[in-house]
Chain A
Amino acid sequence: MSQVASVIPQAKPWTLNRRSRERIISFLSPIALLLLWEVLARLGILDTRFFPAPSQILSTLLTMMTSGELLDDTLISMTRLAVGFLVGGIPALIIGVVMGLNSTLRAMIDPLIAATYPIPKSSILPLALLVLGLGEASKIFMVAIGVFYPIAMNSMAGVREINRVYLDVGHNFKAGRWDVFRTIALPGAMPMIMTGVKLGVGMGLVLIAIAEMVGAKSGLGYLIWNAWETFAVDQMYVGLFVIALIGFALTLILNELEKILVPWKP
């Protein structure tokens, strides 16, 4: 061993600090699992009709990507998710914040929300198909309904938790109604609104997958359902993988958005 190397103890990879070690471990563990899966599938220990080898799924993924169908389905699902998010989220935000500020409106609307909230959103799908038909409207409605509740409820709670003194300050400095909404209620409730947005997006993702399985001829939900009907199991895994990836990406994006919108949280 050369002298130079021996005087730099940090050079040893085993003396990494705890955080980077944990990061590497959490990166390696899924890879190890995939490797194990691959080996077991090839050895025939796993039934590849149900659990095709990861390499097999990857090659199906590549084929589907080059043919363009995967991209199309992904874009369609994401468009529905985005439109549904806006259609459900914007009214939810406004209604939630206004309910938080105004006790009369709260007394009016809160019972409606409390009564309809426990209904599993997926069970409304047949009704949505009946009323809105098989087109885009029913898919967007399903996403919107899933997004609506968590955002409305969290916005309301967020506003109600704002310390009264801030409203007094607004009043004393002659803030008008719109000013109070814009400079106090909205930013004050933003941490909880973001929690609602994250829950809502998760809910929307679940519901778009379900809605596309039943009443659609496109989208990732349809892709997965179609794979079941044609017993193309590796395609099913590709669909699941892409949905998981979207969920993961959205989480990262929302975390960044939160840092931008709530820069004042310690």
Chain B
Amino acid sequence: MVTGDVAPAIRIANLSKFFGDLTAIDDVTIDIPTGEFLVIVGPSGCGKTTLLRILAGLDQPSVGAFTVSTPKELGRPENSMVFQGDSLFPWMTVWDNAAYGLRMRGAPAAQIKEVVGHYLDRIGLTRFAKSYPHELSGGMRQRVSIARAFANDPEILLMDEPFSALDAQNKLLLQEELLRIWEEHKKTVVFITHSVDEAVILGDRIMIMTAQPGRVKMLLRVPFGRPRNVMELARDAQFGNLVHDIWMQLREEVDRARSQNEMNG
């Protein structure tokens, strides 16, 4: 699928994950090229988080394997994850949260100061550097989680529904912000969402997953260039068509997930 001399950043081969009798992920195979923004959509419970946790090294695959081949620069981490839901340390200030990754890998103080300062500036929270998470709104906290992952300067960013808890306006602003920050370095991103609009706005490619057990149902390329203007994009007729097509695919799976739930419950 991917041609050219660049080795894919992530190569997932026939990967499955079982929890007891439950098959969460079933035989997923995909190559993710370096620098790609891949979005995974699928009904809830289809194994998206599980797949991301495996890529992050927080869980092990039951069958199959994945390899990550990135230019191993000295001291740079392989991946950083933006977790689903609130995951900022409540006992650390915004600054300390954002600096966490760099501190854990013993970066020099001057570098920490520069990098963390840069990303807090980018997310517009410099004024809140000394605040604790409970003093921030949900949208602000989510921005700090993103800054925490970016500041760690990983080869690969893993993002698990980072915007799903936000209201529509905040979501739009953060999508724009994320794209702006991402344009700086064009890191490889694996981004999970259950919002089809979001998938099309952000992604280079979209992987649609089936309801449980999670398989790859379809892979689509998003035809829009970069940099993207989120507002302009929404007016594009092609955007509407693509969203519609993906919805039709997804809808089958959502319906299937629903009838599964009714049978079980």
Do residues A166 and B104 form an inter-chain contact, with CB atoms below 8 A? no
Do residues A174 and B77 form an inter-chain contact, with CB atoms below 8 A? yes
Of the candidates B58, B83, B90, which one forms a contact with A264 in the assembled complex, judged by CB atoms under 8 Å apart? B90
Residues of A within 8 A of B19 (CB): none
Do residues A169 and B83 form an inter-chain contact, with CB atoms below 8 A? yes
Do residues B152 and A173 form an inter-chain contact, with CB atoms below 8 A? yes
Do residues A173 and B100 form an inter-chain contact, with CB atoms below 8 A? yes
| Whole-angstrom distance between the Cβ of A100 and the nearest chain B Cβ | 16
B101 CB within 8 Å of chain A = yes
Give the docked Cα–Cα distance between A172 and B80 (Å): 6
Do residues A175 and B104 form an inter-chain contact, with CB atoms below 8 A? yes
Do residues A168 and B83 form an inter-chain contact, with CB atoms below 8 A? yes
Chain A residue nearest in CB terms to B78: A174
Assuming the A-B contacts A165-B83, A169-B83, A172-B80, are A179 and B104 also in contact, with contact meaning beta carbons closer than 8 angstroms in the complex?
yes
Give the docked Cα–Cα distance between A190 and B100 (Å): 19
| Whole-angstrom distance between the Cβ of B151 and the nearest chain A Cβ | 10
Do residues A264 and B87 form an inter-chain contact, with CB atoms below 8 A? no
Assuming the A-B contacts A165-B83, A168-B58, A168-B83, are A173 and B104 also in contact, with contact meaning beta carbons closer than 8 angstroms in the complex?
yes
Do residues A174 and B89 form an inter-chain contact, with CB atoms below 8 A? no
Give the docked Cα–Cα distance between A216 and B74 (Å): 64
A-contacting residues, B72-131, CB 8 Å: 77, 79-81, 83, 85-87, 89-92, 100-101, 104-105
B134 CB within 8 Å of chain A = yes
Give the docked Cα–Cα distance between A122 and B178 (Å): 62
Residues of B within 8 A of A187 (CB): 89, 91-92
A184 CB within 8 Å of chain B = yes
A263 CB within 8 Å of chain B = yes
Chain A residue nearest in CB terms to B145: A169
Of the candidates B57, B77, B89, which one forms a contact with A169 in the assembled complex, judged by CB atoms under 8 Å apart? B89
Assuming the A-B contacts A165-B85, A168-B58, A188-B91, are A173 and B80 also in contact, with contact meaning beta carbons closer than 8 angstroms in the complex?
yes
A36-60 to B contact mask, C-beta < 8 Å, 1/0: 0000000000000000000000000
Do residues A264 and B100 form an inter-chain contact, with CB atoms below 8 A? no
Assuming the A-B contacts A174-B104, A175-B104, A179-B104, are A169 and B134 also in contact, with contact meaning beta carbons closer than 8 angstroms in the complex?
no
Residues of A within 8 A of B104 (CB): 170, 173-176, 179
B247 CB within 8 Å of chain A = no
B182 CB within 8 Å of chain A = no
Q: Number of A residues contacting the other chain (C-beta, 8 Å)?
A: 21
Chain A residue nearest in CB terms to B135: A266
Residues of A within 8 A of B239 (CB): none
Q: Number of B residues contacting the other chain (C-beta, 8 Å)?
A: 24
Chain A residue nearest in CB terms to B88: A169
Residues of B within 8 A of A259 (CB): none
Give the docked Cα–Cα distance between A190 and B134 (Å): 17
Of the candidates B80, B105, B132, which one forms a contact with A263 in the assembled complex, judged by CB atoms under 8 Å apart? B132
Do residues B105 and A174 form an inter-chain contact, with CB atoms below 8 A? yes
Of the candidates A169, A174, A175, A176, which one forms a contact with B87 in the assembled complex, judged by CB atoms under 8 Å apart? A169
B56 CB within 8 Å of chain A = yes
Central interface residue in A166, A173, A190, by most chain B CB within 10 Å: A173
Do residues A172 and B58 form an inter-chain contact, with CB atoms below 8 A? yes
| Whole-angstrom distance between the Cβ of B144 and the nearest chain A Cβ | 12
| Whole-angstrom distance between the Cβ of B226 and the nearest chain A Cβ | 28
Give the docked Cα–Cα distance between A189 and B152 (Å): 26
Give the docked Cα–Cα distance between A169 and B81 (Å): 8
Residues of A within 8 A of B81 (CB): 168-169, 172
Residues of A within 8 A of B56 (CB): 172
Give the docked Cα–Cα distance between A175 and B99 (Å): 13
Give the docked Cα–Cα distance between A174 and B132 (Å): 23
Chain A residue nearest in CB terms to B59: A168
| Whole-angstrom distance between the Cβ of A12 and the nearest chain B Cβ | 38
Chain A residue nearest in CB terms to B105: A174
Give the docked Cα–Cα distance between A170 and B92 (Å): 13
A-contacting residues, B18-47, CB 8 Å: none
Residues of A within 8 A of B57 (CB): 171-172
Do residues B89 and A184 form an inter-chain contact, with CB atoms below 8 A? yes
| Whole-angstrom distance between the Cβ of A257 and the nearest chain B Cβ | 15
| Whole-angstrom distance between the Cβ of A65 and the nearest chain B Cβ | 43
A250-266 to B contact mask, C-beta < 8 Å, 1/0: 00000000000011101
A contact set with B: CB distance below 8 Å:
165-166, 168-176, 179, 183-184, 187-188, 190, 262-264, 266
Not counting A168-B87, A183-B100, A264-B91, a sample of 10 additional A-B residue pairs whose C-beta atoms are within 8 angstroms of each other reads A165-B86, A165-B87, A168-B81, A168-B83, A169-B89, A170-B104, A172-B57, A174-B105, A187-B92, A263-B132
The 6 listed contacts between A and B (C-beta, < 8 Å) are: A165-B83, A169-B83, A173-B77, A173-B100, A187-B91, A264-B133
